[in-house]
Amino acid sequence: MGTMVIHCEWLLTMAEGQEPIHDAYLKIVDGRIVALGSWRESVADHSTEVIDAQDKLVMPGLINTHTHAAMVLFRSLADDLPLDSWLKEKIWPLEEKLTPEDVYHGTRLAINEMLLSGTTTFADMYFFMDEVARAVEESGIRAVLARGLIGTDPAAEKKLEEAVELSKKWKGKADGRITAMLGPHAPYTLPPEFLRQVVTVARHHQLSLHIHVAETRDELEEISKNYGKRPIAYLVDQGVFSRPVLLAHGVWLDEGELSFLSRQKVAVAHNPSSNLKLASGIAPVVKMQEAGLLVSLGTDGAASNNRLDMFAEMRLASLLHKVVNQNPTVLQAESALKMATINGAKALGIADQTGSLEQGKKADLIMVNLKQSHLTPCFNPRSLLVYSARGSDVSEVMVNGEWLVKEGKPVKWGENEIISLAAKTAQRLLQE
């Protein structure tokens, strides 16, 4: 990969206590960051490639901690429905038709969208995960993959075996860009015996859990009716929190549960667009933060969002919680940025590699083109990114020291082909 130095107008490292650096440099050697700081302090010789980014802001790539990538195939197909109807009447019947190749094409489309809008890592829960991994390997993006597990499925145990095999098969592959979790779907699809089995397997193979919890009021009522307790207590009974947990949604958690989850060091993936669109509710994110919970940010799948733009999620999260709390000082721009970068890396257990631009970490970064009307002037880079920027402002993307997007175009594959194949796949699913 060699050595390069990036000279940029602003450098936002997201390292603890580090202020944005104006007229800055970042030095990368063989895919890792070795030095950074003010341009005046940079050391570059004639053998070093210097990248001129003096009209751009360089920051860590964004981390989407909860999505179902291949569901881009269902974008705009099942809108304006409550979650229960959306799942049972629209999405699940379509998913029954999916082939491994369909999931591959859908995932490629999602990855393309994510890369072009500045996401360099995503956490995915779905099925046919070998095909998801194949798309990740080919694209250059980083991913944490979980085979979705539904305990009421007659083939549940076989799919649990698939999930374990995924973690073994892909460990260390794709230049170390792929890691795995187990993906038990949600309390209402996981009978006690099967959920305990998942926990046992996770413990044996040292895997974390990625699970939907307390997404809707209906879920609370169903779990209370079936088991006489709330979802968190139900999960406690099955030993879920004996493993590291990434909890998606958490819309209907009470203060006692937040305190408990904080003590268990549970990470939460907040999905504001999906929660609003499905009218699931608004997660108590500020209370989560006050309780000491690690809160990250996700898009959910494009069938319930309908886009995978993490800049949009940052802006919405910040604005939404200001009005919910009737306090303009909560969830400030810096907090939203942390949720989308370093908090995401911590939630996925990969903060030693990515999430911030620091010496020794992998070069997972994006460049934002500042020379645009809606990004001028730049008094506060953090505020500008959260309240003014959008995914389409990303001009360059690098993962593992490799350029994946240059001048707003993907480097490793043809975008037109990806769009065409995904569109044909979606059309076929609808017609079958």
Q: How far apart are CA 300 and CA 189, in angstroms?
A: 18
In this predicted model, what pLDDT tens digit does every residue of 190-224 receive, in sequence order? 999 999 999 999 999 999 999 999 999 999 999 99
Distance CA 69, CA 299 (A): 10
Please state the domain extents for the chain.
Answer: 3-60+365-399, 62-347
Q: Which residue has the tokens 């095999």?
A: 165
- Confidence (pLDDT) at 44: 60
Q: What is the pLDDT of residue 405?
A: 98
What pLDDT does 84 receive? 84
The pLDDT score that the predictor gives to residue 47 is: 62
Return the CATH number of 3-60+365-399, one of 2.60.120.380, 2.60.40.420, 1.10.357.10, 2.30.40.10.
Answer: 2.30.40.10
Residue 43's pLDDT is 66
C-alpha dihedral over 302, 304, 309, 314, to 10 degrees? Answer: -160
Coil/strand/helix, residue 249: strand
The pLDDT assigned to 87 comes to: 85
Tokens of 396: 């360059």
> Which letter, b or e, does each residue of 295-315 get, where b requires 16 or more Cβ atoms within 10 Å of its Cβ?
bbbbbbbbbbbbebbbbbbbb
Closest CA to 75 of 329, 393, 361, 306: 306
Copy the structure tokens of residue 175: 């230049």
User: CB-side exposure of 80: number of CA atoms within 13 Å?
Assistant: 0
CB 346 within 8 A of CB 205: no
For residue 70 the two structure tokens come to: 């291949």
Kindly report the three-state secondary structure assignment for every residue of 129-166: HHHHHHHHHHHCCEEEEEEEECCCCCCHHHHHHHHHHH
d(CA 154, CA 194): 11
Name which of 136, 189, 132, 117 is nearest 163 in CA terms. 132
Taking the C-alpha atoms of residue 388 and residue 382, their distance in angstroms, rounded to an integer, is 10
The whole-angstrom separation of Cα 391 and Cα 276 is: 20
Instruction: Pick left, alpha or beta for residue 407 (phi over 0 → left; psi -120 to 50 → alpha; otherwise beta).
Output: left
Pick the CATH number of 62-347 from 3.20.20.140, 3.40.640.10, 3.30.1330.10, 3.40.50.720: 3.20.20.140
Cα–Cα dist 138/335, whole Å: 33
Intervals of the chain under pLDDT 50:
none
40 contact partners, CB below 8 Å, separation of at least 6: 23
User: What's this model's pTM, rounded to 2 decimal places?
Assistant: 0.97
The bridge status of strand 119-126 relative to strand 142-149 is parallel
- Residue count (the chain): 432
Burial of 383-392, coded b for 16+ CB within 10 Å and e otherwise, reads bbbbeebbbe
In the prediction, which pLDDT does 251 show?
Answer: 98
Measured CA to CA, the distance from residue 363 to residue 368 in angstroms comes to: 16
Angle subtended by helix axes 129-139 and 100-116, to nearest 10? 40
335: nearest Cα among 386, 393, 274, 273: 386
For 72, 139, 389, the CA distances from 393, given in Å and listed in that order, are 22, 20, 7
Residue 420 contacts by C-beta under 8 Å, 6 or more apart in sequence? none
Residue type, 150: I
* Chain center to CA of 96: 25
> For residue 84, what are its two tokens?
């229960």
CA distance 116 to 214: 32
> How many other CB atoms are there within 10 angstroms of residue 161's CB atom?
13
